Amino acid sequence: MYNTSLRIVNHTGDAEDVMQEAFTDAFRSLEDFHYKSTFGAWLKRIVINKSINQLRKRKMDLIDIEKTNIGNVAEEDGPNEEELQLKIEDIKKAVALLPNGYRTVLTLYLFEGYDQEEVAEILGVSHATVRTQYMRAKKKLLQYIKLGVL
């Protein structure tokens, strides 16, 4: 949970706040848990929602990031994924370097295992947005990794 939150908010203090808030909220609204999913999945959703809210509080809106990043990423060709040597630490660092919007989408899809429809629902955006955002995020991530490795 903490790692999930940390990947999204990208800030240890914020992630801890989110954790605290999410856990206390979850325990207070236990009666709202209707066993439609596992308890872990339910709690994770709370953590993720809180994390995204935390991000938005910092006024780094998904759309802003999309706008600011459309140009430079789209034009470049991504590094060849197959040539890169992937290391856990490198990926972690690269994820942390991603802009908030990209990082959120990438985190939810790549690490938390939600499919693109679910990510779209969580973020309140269209499926197409998620798909393009994810493609760009991944491209950028691989760039960072390449730069880090080189």
Partner 1 sequence: MSRLEQFVRDHREDFDGEEPDNKIWEKIRMEMTPQKKKQGVLVRLGRAGWAAAAAAAVLVAVGSVWYFTSRTPAAAPSVVIRQIPDTTPAVATTGGSEIKPAATVDSSKTVNQPTIASIRPKEKNESPAKVEQVENSMDEEMYHYARLVEIKQTQLKAIEKDEPLLYRQFAADVNKLDSVYHSLQSQLPKNPNREQLLEAMLQNLQLQMGLLNHQLDIIKQINHSKKTAYEEAHKTA
Catalog residues that contact partner 1 under the rule CB under 8 A. 2-3, 6-7, 12, 15-16, 19-20, 23-24, 27-28, 81-82, 84, 86, 88, 91-92, 110-111, 138, 141-142
Cβ neighbors of 61 (< 8 A, separation 6 or more) are: 101
Nearer to partner 1, 100 or 107 (CB): 107
Tell me how far, at minimum, the Cβ of 49 lies from partner 1, in Å: 18
Cβ neighbors of 90 (< 8 A, separation 6 or more) are: 145, 148, 149
Instruction: Write out the two tokens for 150.
Output: 């080189």
CA distance 134 to 137: 5
Nearer to partner 1, 16 or 42 (CB): 16
Q: Which residue has the tokens 């800030």?
A: 11
CA distance 99 to 105: 10
Nearer to partner 1, 81 or 117 (CB): 81
Cβ neighbors of 126 (< 8 A, separation 6 or more) are: 120
Tell me how far, at minimum, the Cβ of 60 lies from partner 1, in Å: 21
Tell me how far, at minimum, the Cβ of 86 lies from partner 1, in Å: 5
Tell me how far, at minimum, the Cβ of 61 lies from partner 1, in Å: 26
Tell me how far, at minimum, the Cβ of 114 lies from partner 1, in Å: 13
CA distance 74 to 139: 9
Nearer to partner 1, 7 or 101 (CB): 7
Nearer to partner 1, 48 or 141 (CB): 141
